[in-house]
Structure 1
Amino acid sequence: MRLSNSLIIGTAAIICTALISFTISDTVQQVQQQQRTVVVKGLAEREVAADTAIWPLPIVHAANDPTEIYRNLANDMAAIKAFLRENGFSDAEMTVSAPAVFDKAAARYSDYDERKDFRYSGQQTLTVYTEKVEMVRTVRQQLSQLGQQGVALGGSEYEHAVEYHFNGLNSIKPSMIEESAANARAVALRFAEHSDSQLGKIARAQQGQFSISDRDSNTPHLKIVRVVSTVAYQLVD
Protein backbone atom coordinates (compact mmCIF):
# COMPACT_ATOMS: atom_id res chain seq x y z
CA MET A 1 0.00 0.00 0.00
CA ARG A 2 2.83 2.30 0.90
CA LEU A 3 4.57 1.44 -2.36
CA SER A 4 1.42 2.20 -4.30
CA ASN A 5 1.06 5.60 -2.62
CA SER A 6 4.68 6.43 -3.28
CA LEU A 7 4.25 5.48 -6.91
CA ILE A 8 1.20 7.69 -7.24
CA ILE A 9 2.93 10.62 -5.55
CA GLY A 10 6.03 10.19 -7.72
CA THR A 11 4.01 9.97 -10.90
CA ALA A 12 2.04 13.10 -9.97
CA ALA A 13 5.27 14.97 -9.23
CA ILE A 14 6.68 14.00 -12.61
CA ILE A 15 3.49 15.14 -14.38
CA CYS A 16 3.43 18.44 -12.47
CA THR A 17 7.06 19.06 -13.27
CA ALA A 18 6.41 18.38 -16.95
CA LEU A 19 3.41 20.71 -16.98
CA ILE A 20 5.38 23.48 -15.27
CA SER A 21 8.27 23.05 -17.68
CA PHE A 22 5.90 23.17 -20.66
CA THR A 23 4.20 26.32 -19.31
CA ILE A 24 7.53 28.05 -18.67
CA SER A 25 8.81 27.06 -22.09
CA ASP A 26 5.65 28.31 -23.79
CA THR A 27 5.79 31.57 -21.83
CA VAL A 28 9.44 32.11 -22.75
CA GLN A 29 8.62 31.49 -26.40
CA GLN A 30 5.75 33.98 -26.24
CA VAL A 31 7.96 36.59 -24.58
CA GLN A 32 10.67 36.05 -27.16
CA GLN A 33 8.07 36.34 -29.90
CA GLN A 34 6.83 39.62 -28.45
CA GLN A 35 10.37 40.91 -28.20
CA ARG A 36 10.90 40.52 -31.94
CA THR A 37 9.88 43.94 -33.14
CA VAL A 38 10.85 46.39 -35.82
CA VAL A 39 10.68 50.14 -35.18
CA VAL A 40 10.01 52.29 -38.23
CA LYS A 41 9.26 55.92 -38.97
CA GLY A 42 6.73 57.28 -41.44
CA LEU A 43 6.92 60.82 -42.83
CA ALA A 44 4.02 62.87 -44.15
CA GLU A 45 4.73 66.19 -45.80
CA ARG A 46 2.50 68.82 -47.41
CA GLU A 47 3.16 72.11 -49.14
CA VAL A 48 0.48 74.67 -48.25
CA ALA A 49 -0.09 78.35 -48.87
CA ALA A 50 -0.15 80.78 -45.95
CA ASP A 51 -3.64 81.91 -45.04
CA THR A 52 -2.76 84.94 -42.90
CA ALA A 53 -0.38 87.86 -43.35
CA ILE A 54 0.87 90.36 -40.75
CA TRP A 55 2.29 93.42 -42.50
CA PRO A 56 3.88 96.23 -40.43
CA LEU A 57 4.28 99.66 -42.02
CA PRO A 58 6.46 101.85 -39.75
CA ILE A 59 7.10 105.55 -40.21
CA VAL A 60 9.82 107.65 -38.57
CA HIS A 61 10.30 111.42 -38.32
CA ALA A 62 12.88 113.70 -36.72
CA ALA A 63 12.65 117.41 -35.89
CA ASN A 64 13.53 120.00 -33.26
CA ASP A 65 9.86 120.63 -32.51
CA PRO A 66 7.81 117.72 -31.13
CA THR A 67 4.57 119.18 -32.47
CA GLU A 68 6.03 118.96 -35.96
CA ILE A 69 6.75 115.28 -35.43
CA TYR A 70 3.21 114.54 -34.27
CA ARG A 71 1.82 116.44 -37.24
CA ASN A 72 4.04 114.60 -39.73
CA LEU A 73 3.22 111.22 -38.21
CA ALA A 74 -0.50 111.96 -38.44
CA ASN A 75 -0.22 113.08 -42.08
CA ASP A 76 1.79 110.03 -43.09
CA MET A 77 -0.56 107.69 -41.27
CA ALA A 78 -3.55 109.21 -43.07
CA ALA A 79 -1.77 108.73 -46.41
CA ILE A 80 -0.96 105.10 -45.64
CA LYS A 81 -4.55 104.36 -44.65
CA ALA A 82 -5.87 105.96 -47.83
CA PHE A 83 -3.38 103.95 -49.91
CA LEU A 84 -4.44 100.69 -48.28
CA ARG A 85 -8.16 101.42 -48.65
CA GLU A 86 -7.68 102.16 -52.35
CA ASN A 87 -6.03 98.79 -52.74
CA GLY A 88 -8.80 96.78 -51.08
CA PHE A 89 -7.98 96.65 -47.38
CA SER A 90 -10.55 97.59 -44.76
CA ASP A 91 -10.11 99.63 -41.60
CA ALA A 92 -10.87 96.48 -39.59
CA GLU A 93 -7.66 94.97 -40.97
CA MET A 94 -5.54 97.93 -39.81
CA THR A 95 -4.15 98.55 -36.34
CA VAL A 96 -2.24 101.73 -35.52
CA SER A 97 0.17 101.94 -32.59
CA ALA A 98 0.39 105.03 -30.42
CA PRO A 99 3.03 107.54 -31.60
CA ALA A 100 6.27 107.40 -29.65
CA VAL A 101 8.41 110.58 -29.47
CA PHE A 102 11.92 110.43 -28.05
CA ASP A 103 13.85 113.45 -26.68
CA LYS A 104 17.53 112.83 -27.32
CA ALA A 105 18.62 115.71 -25.07
CA ALA A 106 16.84 114.15 -22.11
CA ALA A 107 18.44 110.75 -22.53
CA ARG A 108 20.98 109.92 -19.85
CA TYR A 109 23.63 108.45 -22.13
CA SER A 110 22.82 110.36 -25.30
CA ASP A 111 25.49 111.73 -27.65
CA TYR A 112 23.08 114.40 -28.86
CA ASP A 113 24.72 117.45 -30.45
CA GLU A 114 22.31 120.36 -30.94
CA ARG A 115 24.55 121.82 -33.65
CA LYS A 116 24.00 118.93 -36.05
CA ASP A 117 21.28 116.63 -34.69
CA PHE A 118 17.50 116.86 -34.50
CA ARG A 119 16.52 116.83 -30.87
CA TYR A 120 13.33 114.76 -31.25
CA SER A 121 12.58 111.58 -33.13
CA GLY A 122 9.22 109.89 -33.40
CA GLN A 123 7.85 106.67 -34.80
CA GLN A 124 4.52 105.01 -35.34
CA THR A 125 3.47 101.73 -36.98
CA LEU A 126 0.38 100.67 -38.86
CA THR A 127 -0.01 96.89 -38.95
CA VAL A 128 -2.19 95.08 -41.46
CA TYR A 129 -3.56 91.76 -40.18
CA THR A 130 -5.40 90.05 -43.00
CA GLU A 131 -6.28 86.81 -44.74
CA LYS A 132 -5.73 88.50 -48.11
CA VAL A 133 -2.26 87.06 -48.52
CA GLU A 134 -1.98 87.48 -52.28
CA MET A 135 -3.22 91.06 -52.02
CA VAL A 136 -0.46 91.86 -49.53
CA ARG A 137 2.14 90.42 -51.87
CA THR A 138 0.78 92.51 -54.77
CA VAL A 139 0.33 95.79 -52.92
CA ARG A 140 3.81 95.64 -51.40
CA GLN A 141 5.18 96.05 -54.90
CA GLN A 142 3.34 99.39 -55.15
CA LEU A 143 4.77 101.09 -52.07
CA SER A 144 6.66 103.51 -54.30
CA GLN A 145 3.34 105.32 -54.65
CA LEU A 146 3.62 106.31 -51.00
CA GLY A 147 7.16 107.51 -51.56
CA GLN A 148 5.91 109.76 -54.34
CA GLN A 149 3.60 111.35 -51.78
CA GLY A 150 6.52 112.05 -49.46
CA VAL A 151 5.86 109.13 -47.11
CA ALA A 152 9.09 107.38 -46.13
CA LEU A 153 8.68 104.04 -44.43
CA GLY A 154 11.24 103.39 -41.70
CA GLY A 155 12.72 100.32 -40.08
CA SER A 156 14.82 97.55 -41.56
CA GLU A 157 13.50 94.90 -43.90
CA TYR A 158 14.32 92.25 -41.28
CA GLU A 159 12.60 93.97 -38.34
CA HIS A 160 9.45 94.86 -40.27
CA ALA A 161 9.19 92.01 -42.74
CA VAL A 162 5.78 90.55 -43.51
CA GLU A 163 4.94 87.49 -41.42
CA TYR A 164 3.06 84.73 -43.20
CA HIS A 165 1.21 82.11 -41.18
CA PHE A 166 -0.76 78.94 -41.87
CA ASN A 167 -3.64 78.43 -39.43
CA GLY A 168 -5.41 75.52 -41.13
CA LEU A 169 -3.43 72.73 -39.49
CA ASN A 170 -6.46 71.07 -37.88
CA SER A 171 -8.07 70.54 -41.28
CA ILE A 172 -5.15 68.47 -42.61
CA LYS A 173 -4.01 66.74 -39.40
CA PRO A 174 -6.14 63.56 -39.74
CA SER A 175 -5.10 62.82 -43.32
CA MET A 176 -1.43 63.54 -42.58
CA ILE A 177 -1.42 61.24 -39.54
CA GLU A 178 -3.03 58.51 -41.66
CA GLU A 179 -0.44 59.06 -44.39
CA SER A 180 2.52 58.94 -42.00
CA ALA A 181 1.20 55.73 -40.42
CA ALA A 182 0.71 54.15 -43.86
CA ASN A 183 4.26 55.10 -44.85
CA ALA A 184 5.59 53.56 -41.63
CA ARG A 185 3.72 50.32 -42.30
CA ALA A 186 5.09 50.17 -45.86
CA VAL A 187 8.63 50.39 -44.49
CA ALA A 188 7.89 47.71 -41.89
CA LEU A 189 6.45 45.37 -44.54
CA ARG A 190 9.62 45.66 -46.62
CA PHE A 191 11.74 44.93 -43.56
CA ALA A 192 9.64 41.89 -42.67
CA GLU A 193 9.88 40.61 -46.24
CA HIS A 194 13.66 40.86 -46.26
CA SER A 195 13.91 39.09 -42.88
CA ASP A 196 11.61 36.20 -43.94
CA SER A 197 9.04 37.22 -41.31
CA GLN A 198 5.43 38.26 -41.21
CA LEU A 199 4.30 41.62 -39.89
CA GLY A 200 2.32 41.29 -36.69
CA LYS A 201 0.37 43.68 -34.54
CA ILE A 202 1.48 47.16 -33.50
CA ALA A 203 3.45 46.92 -30.26
CA ARG A 204 3.53 50.66 -29.68
CA ALA A 205 3.18 53.88 -31.64
CA GLN A 206 4.14 57.50 -31.18
CA GLN A 207 2.98 60.49 -33.18
CA GLY A 208 5.57 63.23 -33.54
CA GLN A 209 5.04 66.97 -33.35
CA PHE A 210 3.73 68.81 -36.40
CA SER A 211 6.16 71.39 -37.74
CA ILE A 212 5.48 74.29 -40.10
CA SER A 213 8.36 76.03 -41.86
CA ASP A 214 8.97 78.23 -44.88
CA ARG A 215 9.46 76.27 -48.06
CA ASP A 216 12.50 78.45 -48.72
CA SER A 217 13.79 81.93 -47.87
CA ASN A 218 12.44 83.43 -51.11
CA THR A 219 8.84 82.27 -50.73
CA PRO A 220 7.82 82.72 -47.07
CA HIS A 221 4.15 82.65 -48.11
CA LEU A 222 4.55 78.95 -48.96
CA LYS A 223 4.86 76.57 -46.04
CA ILE A 224 5.96 72.97 -45.55
CA VAL A 225 3.99 71.00 -42.94
CA ARG A 226 5.68 67.81 -41.64
CA VAL A 227 4.88 65.07 -39.15
CA VAL A 228 6.73 61.82 -38.37
CA SER A 229 5.05 58.81 -36.79
CA THR A 230 7.15 56.19 -35.01
CA VAL A 231 5.63 52.71 -34.93
CA ALA A 232 6.91 49.42 -33.48
CA TYR A 233 5.53 46.27 -35.15
CA GLN A 234 5.82 42.70 -33.94
CA LEU A 235 7.54 40.23 -36.25
CA VAL A 236 6.22 36.69 -36.45
CA ASP A 237 7.49 33.60 -38.32
Structure 2
Amino acid sequence: KRFLRSQHSIRICTVLVVRARFHHLLLVPMSYSSIAVTTSHRSALASQKRAFTPCNKHLSLHRASSIRCQATGQEQQAQAKISNPAFNVTSAEDRVRLRSEAEAPWRSVRLTLFGFSAVSASVGLLVSIPQLIGALGGAPNALPLADVGTNIAVNSGAAALFAWLCVRDWQARGRQMARLTREEALAGCRLQLANGKTLALGALRGAARVVICAGTPEQVSASLASAEPYKAELVRRGVLVVALPIYEGEGGQGG
Protein backbone atom coordinates (compact mmCIF):
# COMPACT_ATOMS: atom_id res chain seq x y z
CA LYS A 1 0.00 0.00 0.00
CA ARG A 2 2.84 2.40 0.85
CA PHE A 3 4.41 1.57 -2.42
CA LEU A 4 1.21 2.20 -4.30
CA ARG A 5 0.49 5.45 -2.46
CA SER A 6 3.94 6.77 -3.01
CA GLN A 7 4.16 9.62 -5.50
CA HIS A 8 7.51 8.34 -6.79
CA SER A 9 6.24 4.90 -7.64
CA ILE A 10 7.07 3.85 -11.12
CA ARG A 11 4.13 2.94 -13.22
CA ILE A 12 4.85 -0.51 -14.44
CA CYS A 13 2.53 -1.89 -17.06
CA THR A 14 1.42 -5.40 -16.51
CA VAL A 15 -0.99 -7.68 -18.15
CA LEU A 16 -4.06 -8.79 -16.28
CA VAL A 17 -5.39 -12.00 -17.60
CA VAL A 18 -9.11 -12.16 -17.21
CA ARG A 19 -10.92 -15.33 -18.00
CA ALA A 20 -14.01 -14.14 -19.79
CA ARG A 21 -17.25 -15.95 -20.41
CA PHE A 22 -17.06 -18.87 -22.87
CA HIS A 23 -13.42 -19.38 -21.69
CA HIS A 24 -11.80 -16.77 -23.95
CA LEU A 25 -8.61 -15.03 -22.74
CA LEU A 26 -8.78 -11.24 -22.67
CA LEU A 27 -5.45 -9.40 -22.38
CA VAL A 28 -5.84 -5.96 -20.78
CA PRO A 29 -2.76 -3.73 -20.13
CA MET A 30 -3.12 -2.04 -16.73
CA SER A 31 -0.93 -0.28 -14.13
CA TYR A 32 -0.31 -1.28 -10.55
CA SER A 33 -2.55 1.53 -9.39
CA SER A 34 -5.55 -0.02 -11.14
CA ILE A 35 -4.97 -3.50 -9.72
CA ALA A 36 -6.19 -2.48 -6.30
CA VAL A 37 -9.58 -4.13 -6.47
CA THR A 38 -11.19 -4.26 -3.08
CA THR A 39 -12.97 -7.21 -1.62
CA SER A 40 -16.30 -5.42 -1.96
CA HIS A 41 -15.79 -5.04 -5.69
CA ARG A 42 -14.99 -8.73 -6.00
CA SER A 43 -18.07 -9.68 -4.02
CA ALA A 44 -20.16 -7.33 -6.17
CA LEU A 45 -18.87 -8.98 -9.33
CA ALA A 46 -19.54 -12.41 -7.87
CA SER A 47 -23.08 -11.42 -6.92
CA GLN A 48 -23.67 -10.06 -10.42
CA LYS A 49 -22.41 -13.31 -11.88
CA ARG A 50 -24.74 -15.27 -9.63
CA ALA A 51 -27.56 -12.93 -10.62
CA PHE A 52 -26.98 -13.62 -14.31
CA THR A 53 -26.85 -17.41 -13.89
CA PRO A 54 -30.56 -17.92 -13.04
CA CYS A 55 -31.48 -15.72 -15.98
CA ASN A 56 -29.53 -18.00 -18.27
CA LYS A 57 -31.23 -20.99 -16.70
CA HIS A 58 -34.64 -19.40 -17.13
CA LEU A 59 -33.77 -18.58 -20.73
CA SER A 60 -32.74 -22.18 -21.38
CA LEU A 61 -35.94 -23.44 -19.76
CA HIS A 62 -37.96 -21.00 -21.86
CA ARG A 63 -36.28 -22.18 -25.05
CA ALA A 64 -36.81 -25.83 -24.09
CA SER A 65 -40.47 -25.21 -23.32
CA SER A 66 -40.88 -23.39 -26.64
CA ILE A 67 -39.33 -26.33 -28.50
CA ARG A 68 -41.60 -28.75 -26.63
CA CYS A 69 -44.66 -26.63 -27.43
CA GLN A 70 -43.65 -26.49 -31.10
CA ALA A 71 -43.14 -30.26 -31.22
CA THR A 72 -46.47 -30.82 -29.50
CA GLY A 73 -48.18 -28.52 -32.00
CA GLN A 74 -46.65 -30.40 -34.93
CA GLU A 75 -47.79 -33.73 -33.45
CA GLN A 76 -51.33 -32.39 -33.02
CA GLN A 77 -51.37 -31.18 -36.63
CA ALA A 78 -50.19 -34.59 -37.82
CA GLN A 79 -52.88 -36.32 -35.76
CA ALA A 80 -55.49 -33.91 -37.13
CA LYS A 81 -54.41 -34.73 -40.67
CA ILE A 82 -54.62 -38.45 -39.92
CA SER A 83 -58.05 -38.13 -38.31
CA ASN A 84 -59.33 -35.87 -41.09
CA PRO A 85 -61.17 -37.95 -43.72
CA ALA A 86 -59.88 -35.64 -46.46
CA PHE A 87 -56.38 -37.10 -46.00
CA ASN A 88 -57.46 -40.75 -45.81
CA VAL A 89 -58.58 -43.03 -48.61
CA THR A 90 -61.22 -44.91 -46.62
CA SER A 91 -64.43 -44.48 -48.62
CA ALA A 92 -65.39 -46.66 -51.56
CA GLU A 93 -65.77 -43.63 -53.84
CA ASP A 94 -62.16 -42.56 -53.22
CA ARG A 95 -60.87 -46.06 -53.93
CA VAL A 96 -62.93 -46.27 -57.13
CA ARG A 97 -61.62 -42.89 -58.29
CA LEU A 98 -58.01 -43.85 -57.58
CA ARG A 99 -58.36 -47.18 -59.38
CA SER A 100 -59.92 -45.40 -62.35
CA GLU A 101 -56.99 -42.99 -62.55
CA ALA A 102 -54.53 -45.88 -62.27
CA GLU A 103 -56.17 -47.85 -65.09
CA ALA A 104 -56.54 -44.86 -67.45
CA PRO A 105 -54.06 -42.17 -66.37
CA TRP A 106 -54.37 -40.12 -69.60
CA ARG A 107 -58.16 -40.03 -69.79
CA SER A 108 -58.46 -36.71 -67.94
CA VAL A 109 -55.88 -35.17 -70.28
CA ARG A 110 -57.71 -36.46 -73.35
CA LEU A 111 -61.06 -35.18 -72.09
CA THR A 112 -59.55 -31.74 -71.50
CA LEU A 113 -57.89 -31.55 -74.92
CA PHE A 114 -60.91 -32.88 -76.82
CA GLY A 115 -63.27 -30.58 -74.95
CA PHE A 116 -61.23 -27.44 -75.56
CA SER A 117 -60.70 -28.38 -79.22
CA ALA A 118 -64.43 -28.87 -79.73
CA VAL A 119 -65.19 -25.52 -78.08
CA SER A 120 -62.53 -23.75 -80.17
CA ALA A 121 -63.87 -25.21 -83.41
CA SER A 122 -67.41 -24.24 -82.41
CA VAL A 123 -66.33 -20.64 -81.79
CA GLY A 124 -64.64 -20.57 -85.20
CA LEU A 125 -67.86 -21.87 -86.76
CA LEU A 126 -69.90 -19.13 -85.09
CA VAL A 127 -67.46 -16.50 -86.36
CA SER A 128 -67.75 -17.88 -89.90
CA ILE A 129 -71.55 -17.42 -89.97
CA PRO A 130 -71.43 -13.56 -90.16
CA GLN A 131 -68.68 -13.87 -92.77
CA LEU A 132 -70.92 -16.13 -94.81
CA ILE A 133 -73.80 -13.64 -94.56
CA GLY A 134 -71.52 -10.80 -95.67
CA ALA A 135 -70.15 -12.81 -98.59
CA LEU A 136 -73.66 -13.75 -99.76
CA GLY A 137 -74.93 -10.19 -99.41
CA GLY A 138 -72.03 -8.68 -101.31
CA ALA A 139 -70.79 -6.54 -98.42
CA PRO A 140 -67.66 -4.43 -99.06
CA ASN A 141 -64.36 -5.93 -97.88
CA ALA A 142 -66.07 -9.28 -97.41
CA LEU A 143 -64.13 -12.54 -97.70
CA PRO A 144 -64.55 -14.59 -100.85
CA LEU A 145 -67.36 -17.07 -100.65
CA ALA A 146 -64.99 -19.98 -101.35
CA ASP A 147 -62.77 -19.10 -98.37
CA VAL A 148 -65.76 -18.73 -96.07
CA GLY A 149 -67.11 -22.10 -97.21
CA THR A 150 -63.73 -23.73 -96.53
CA ASN A 151 -63.59 -22.25 -93.02
CA ILE A 152 -67.11 -23.42 -92.25
CA ALA A 153 -66.36 -26.94 -93.48
CA VAL A 154 -63.12 -27.21 -91.49
CA ASN A 155 -64.63 -25.84 -88.28
CA SER A 156 -67.73 -28.01 -88.58
CA GLY A 157 -65.69 -31.16 -89.14
CA ALA A 158 -63.29 -30.38 -86.28
CA ALA A 159 -66.12 -29.59 -83.85
CA ALA A 160 -67.97 -32.80 -84.75
CA LEU A 161 -64.82 -34.95 -84.54
CA PHE A 162 -63.59 -33.64 -81.18
CA ALA A 163 -67.09 -33.70 -79.71
CA TRP A 164 -67.48 -37.36 -80.72
CA LEU A 165 -64.07 -38.25 -79.23
CA CYS A 166 -64.92 -36.44 -75.99
CA VAL A 167 -68.33 -38.14 -75.68
CA ARG A 168 -66.85 -41.57 -76.43
CA ASP A 169 -64.13 -41.15 -73.80
CA TRP A 170 -66.69 -39.88 -71.28
CA GLN A 171 -68.94 -42.89 -71.86
CA ALA A 172 -65.95 -45.22 -71.46
CA ARG A 173 -65.20 -43.52 -68.16
CA GLY A 174 -68.80 -44.07 -67.03
CA ARG A 175 -68.63 -47.79 -67.86
CA GLN A 176 -65.31 -48.10 -66.06
CA MET A 177 -66.64 -46.35 -62.95
CA ALA A 178 -69.69 -48.64 -62.92
CA ARG A 179 -67.49 -51.73 -63.15
CA LEU A 180 -65.15 -50.55 -60.40
CA THR A 181 -68.09 -49.62 -58.18
CA ARG A 182 -69.52 -53.12 -58.63
CA GLU A 183 -66.14 -54.64 -57.79
CA GLU A 184 -65.86 -52.52 -54.64
CA ALA A 185 -69.33 -53.65 -53.60
CA LEU A 186 -68.31 -57.28 -54.09
CA ALA A 187 -65.09 -56.64 -52.16
CA GLY A 188 -67.16 -55.91 -49.07
CA CYS A 189 -68.84 -59.34 -49.10
CA ARG A 190 -67.85 -61.71 -46.31
CA LEU A 191 -66.24 -65.02 -47.21
CA GLN A 192 -65.77 -68.11 -45.06
CA LEU A 193 -62.65 -70.11 -45.89
CA ALA A 194 -62.24 -73.85 -45.56
CA ASN A 195 -60.46 -73.43 -42.20
CA GLY A 196 -63.47 -71.56 -40.77
CA LYS A 197 -61.88 -68.10 -40.91
CA THR A 198 -64.14 -65.29 -42.13
CA LEU A 199 -62.79 -62.30 -44.03
CA ALA A 200 -63.82 -59.83 -46.71
CA LEU A 201 -63.22 -60.52 -50.37
CA GLY A 202 -61.24 -57.29 -50.60
CA ALA A 203 -58.63 -58.79 -48.25
CA LEU A 204 -57.75 -61.34 -50.94
CA ARG A 205 -56.93 -58.62 -53.48
CA GLY A 206 -53.37 -59.14 -54.67
CA ALA A 207 -53.13 -62.57 -53.02
CA ALA A 208 -55.63 -64.66 -55.01
CA ARG A 209 -57.81 -64.49 -58.10
CA VAL A 210 -61.37 -64.95 -56.92
CA VAL A 211 -63.90 -66.65 -59.21
CA ILE A 212 -67.51 -66.57 -57.95
CA CYS A 213 -69.86 -69.32 -59.15
CA ALA A 214 -73.38 -67.97 -58.62
CA GLY A 215 -76.62 -69.69 -59.55
CA THR A 216 -78.90 -72.42 -58.33
CA PRO A 217 -77.43 -75.11 -56.05
CA GLU A 218 -77.50 -77.59 -58.95
CA GLN A 219 -75.65 -75.21 -61.26
CA VAL A 220 -73.04 -74.42 -58.62
CA SER A 221 -72.47 -78.11 -57.89
CA ALA A 222 -72.12 -78.87 -61.60
CA SER A 223 -69.61 -76.03 -62.04
CA LEU A 224 -67.49 -77.21 -59.11
CA ALA A 225 -67.58 -80.79 -60.40
CA SER A 226 -66.44 -79.69 -63.85
CA ALA A 227 -63.57 -77.68 -62.33
CA GLU A 228 -62.38 -80.56 -60.13
CA PRO A 229 -59.94 -82.01 -62.72
CA TYR A 230 -58.19 -78.62 -62.93
CA LYS A 231 -57.89 -78.16 -59.18
CA ALA A 232 -54.09 -78.44 -59.04
CA GLU A 233 -53.64 -76.04 -61.94
CA LEU A 234 -56.06 -73.53 -60.40
CA VAL A 235 -54.23 -73.69 -57.08
CA ARG A 236 -50.89 -73.17 -58.82
CA ARG A 237 -52.21 -70.06 -60.56
CA GLY A 238 -53.72 -68.69 -57.35
CA VAL A 239 -57.36 -69.04 -58.42
CA LEU A 240 -59.90 -69.25 -55.59
CA VAL A 241 -63.34 -70.59 -56.56
CA VAL A 242 -66.23 -69.38 -54.38
CA ALA A 243 -69.54 -71.24 -54.50
CA LEU A 244 -72.51 -68.89 -54.18
CA PRO A 245 -75.94 -70.53 -54.63
CA ILE A 246 -78.24 -67.50 -54.56
CA TYR A 247 -81.20 -68.75 -56.64
CA GLU A 248 -83.82 -71.30 -55.75
CA GLY A 249 -83.20 -74.80 -56.95
CA GLU A 250 -85.57 -77.52 -57.99
CA GLY A 251 -86.46 -78.17 -54.36
CA GLY A 252 -87.61 -74.58 -53.90
CA GLN A 253 -84.80 -73.65 -51.47
CA GLY A 254 -82.08 -71.13 -52.12
CA GLY A 255 -78.66 -70.87 -50.58
TM over 0.5: no
Higher relative contact order (CA 8 A, sep 6+): 1
Question: Which protein has the larger Cα radius of gyration, Structure 1 or Structure 2?
Answer: 2
Between structures 1 and 2, the one with greater helix share: 2
Between structures 1 and 2, the one with greater strand share: 1
Q: What is the TM-score normalised by the length of structure 1?
A: 0.19
